[in-house]
């Protein structure tokens, strides 16, 4: 066989010559042909990706390849060698460098129209920058491993602003299972509805009525390191991130009104047993977050696209 050095070949070990006549006409052609797709609506979206790790790097790739208008990338970490097995945007040369800048660099090779905004910040300490990005966003993807109260804070923020969001990651015990939650704007459950938090005094400080004005979450929310102690594999991160994006896009494109089924609230996919569980849950009547936000559906940007592709009969 031939030993190759990352160069495209024709199978004989020789480099494939570039085609000077090759043109990119419409990179979105295939997705436009899918059921109920609305490319103009997708191109009006602004995504906020919190954490560009195993999940976030694949999420960011999805958003860029779909043609989002803008994507914010927030992460405080640098690329470590143990990231290279599953965080698809990074390569050997990136080790020791800030993730967000390396991610933005890698995404440019797949980018046809998206404005990328990388922010190398501590999202917990510099919460106001997260708030400002969220104010400009139409959807949020939370992949930061800081603990449950960070997730509650992000859910409170999105609930207050009326934007859909998803959170999730790989199971820290086996590394082969993924769990993802999707939350609509101001109807359906929020992250707090799905939990029984112990520290009510912490929740009182991150309620929707306060969440926009907090300068920092440092010293307010506790950190949980359990997720950083576990393992993870590339297919779990990739498949899970794809599910996460799919749940949000399913909602943005109003697939539930076309298919007659709601977007699930929670999905758990075990890649050891290959069992998938999904749940559609109701909001808790006693939830502090939900009581403080009005019920209602998200209204996309005014320049909504023309008619979408119908379901096949």
Backbone angles phi, psi at 47, to 5 degrees: -105, 140
What was the pLDDT predicted at 186? 76
What was the pLDDT predicted at 176? 86
DSSP 9: B
Q: How far apart are CA 206 and CA 159, in angstroms?
A: 12
| Residues whose CB falls within 8 Å of the CB of residue 283, separated by 6 or more in sequence, listed in order | 187, 188, 189, 190, 193, 290
Query: Helix 127-135 and helix 148-161: axis angle, to 10°?
Result: 40
| Residues whose CB falls within 8 Å of the CB of residue 239, separated by 6 or more in sequence, listed in order | 178, 269, 271
pTM for the full model?
Answer: 0.86
Complete DSSP assignment for 53-116: STTHHHHHHHHHHHT-SEEEEE--PBPPGGGTTT-TT--GGGTTSBHHHHHHHHHGGG-SSPEE
Residue whose entry in the numeric block shows the structure tokens 């009326």: 162
Strand, helix or coil at 47?
strand
What was the pLDDT predicted at 309? 38
Backbone angles phi, psi at 177, to 5 degrees: -125, 150
Q: Chunked in runs of 10, what are the mean pLDDT values of the chain (313 residues)?
A: 42 67 85 93 98 95 97 96 90 95 95 96 98 98 93 95 92 83 87 87 94 96 76 88 94 89 90 91 87 51 36 34
What was the pLDDT predicted at 294? 52
**Helix (H) or strand (E) segment spanning residue 267:** strand 266-270
Residue 303 to residues 81, 137, 256, 306, Cα–Cα distance (Å): 44, 16, 21, 9
What was the pLDDT predicted at 35? 87
What was the pLDDT predicted at 14? 67
Strand, helix or coil at 201?
helix
What was the pLDDT predicted at 301? 36
């Amino acid at each position: 066989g031939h030993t190759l050095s990352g160069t495209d070949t024709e199978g004989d070990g020789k480099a494939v010559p570039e085609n000077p006549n090759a043109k990119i006409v419409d990179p979105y052609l295939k997705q436009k042909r899918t059921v109920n797709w609305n490319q103009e609506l997708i191109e009006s979206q602004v995504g906020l990706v919190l954490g560009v790790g195993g999940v976030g790097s694949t999420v960011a790739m999805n958003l860029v390849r779909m043609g989002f208008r803008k994507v914010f990338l927030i992460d405080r970490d640098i690329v470590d060698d143990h990231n290279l097995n599953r965080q698809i945007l990074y390569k050997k040369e990136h080790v020791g460098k800030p993730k967000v800048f390396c991610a933005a660099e890698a995404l440019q090779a797949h980018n046809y129209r998206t404005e990328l905004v990388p922010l190398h910040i501590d999202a917990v300490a510099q919460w106001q920058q997260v708030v400002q990005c969220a104010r400009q966003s139409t959807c949020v993807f939370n992949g930061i491993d800081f603990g449950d109260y960070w997730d509650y804070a992000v859910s409170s923020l999105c609930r207050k602003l009326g934007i859909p969001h998803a959170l999730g990651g790989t199971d820290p015990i086996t590394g082969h299972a993924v769990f993802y939650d999707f939350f609509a704007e101001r109807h359906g459950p929020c992250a707090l509805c799905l939990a029984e938090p112990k520290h009510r005094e912490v929740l009182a400080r991150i309620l929707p009525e306060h969440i926009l004005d907090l300068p920092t979450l440092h010293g307010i929310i506790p950190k949980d390191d359990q997720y950083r102690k576990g393992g993870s594999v590339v297919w779990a991160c990739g498949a899970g991130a794809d599910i996460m994006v799919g749940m949000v896009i399913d909602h943005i494109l109003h697939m539930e009104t076309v298919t007659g089924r709601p977007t699930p609230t929670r999905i758990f996919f075990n890649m050891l047993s290959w069992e998938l569980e999904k749940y559609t849950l109701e909001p808790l009547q006693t939830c502090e977050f939900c009581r403080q936000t009005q019920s209602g559906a998200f209204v996309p940007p005014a320049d909504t696209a023309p008619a979408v592709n119908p379901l096949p009969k």
